[in-house]
Structure 1
Amino acid sequence: MRRLSEGDIRAFTVLFNQYKNKIYTLAFKITGSVFLAEETVQEIFTKLWIRRQELSAIVNFNAWFNTITRNYLFSLMKSQAAREAREAFFADQISYSSGDADQDILLKQTEALLRNALCALPPQQNKVYHLIRMQGMKKEEVAVKLNLSKETVKSHLSKAIKNIRAYYMTHKDSVVTWLLILSAW
């Protein structure tokens, strides 16, 4: 642990090889997803590397490592449940309005406008917005994942929202035009 806490890559590789299958198996059992299991392994070892300087003070590494893994998986499942709830809500909203072709066209226009607004964001703002608003991650989780401070994540999210609003304001005429066309029918 001392070598790892000093940044020794070989010690990290030994630890990775020792624990990766255990984490993968546990994550797969909980999530049922190969992708999420692989992502869990990557995230856990990223957290370990970021917090490697704390390792020398840890008395029971196995307990500490199991706690980090368990907490990450709980957080992942909570985020996944929130995302699924949002998707179900929006699916209900879309199916509710799908009887009206005019609303479908307007919805598609609005979705396209959002996609374009997201593409216009600087890469870091786009990542932060996507992880928090689309994937349901917490700001703290995004900070760890992107190796940023929590305040930087808040700043990127705030700027992303302002930029999206500004994009909507400069491009709202296309949606208004569709509304006028649809109301003329």
Structure 2
Amino acid sequence: MALFSHHRVIEEESNSSFKSLFEQYAPRIYSFGFSYLKSVEDTEELVQDVFFRLWRQQQHLDESQNIKAYIFKIAVNLIYDQLRKRKLDKLVSELNSMGYSDEDDTTWNTLRCNELQDQIDALIMQLPEQRRLIFTMSRIEGMSYDEIANKLGLSVRTVENQIYRALSFLKKHIDSKYMLYLIFYYFS
């Protein structure tokens, strides 16, 4: 019986500290997420997903770890996934508007787009962190170089340089059969 009550005390402490983390970081994650997603619904879902993932991983967390950095890392990854999904949805929509009918093999087209997006995503993830962030803000979120520079406290020249380097890396490593897509969506 004592073991059971000890387990309950540990569980209550765990729930209490998780609630404290939620109260402390949920508003920050919401504000951070909304600045990228620009959608109340998507941002609310982001906050839920961040804390759901944190809850699932709570037993594996190292107390010496910077929990704020860990929470925001989860948020950044989820935001990136959401923006990538939007970009892919836009591509599929554009392909459909270019004359593909329901009779065409849209499943094949979607699979090709997914394959391409996966390759691009893998390459983007290889970029240094700041370059990846700047590239994502510019090419996926559609922010101007001035907006990025202001948001990150960098010079416009630094932003331009980072975009140029990211595009050069992608151009060098992308499968040649996708080069037209890369030029159309990322170089324009």
TM-score (normalizing by structure 2): 0.45
Q: Give the number of the structure whose alpha-carbon radius of gyration is greater.
A: 1
**Relative to total residues, which structure has the larger helix share, 1 or 2?**
1
Q: TM-score, normalised by structure 1?
A: 0.46
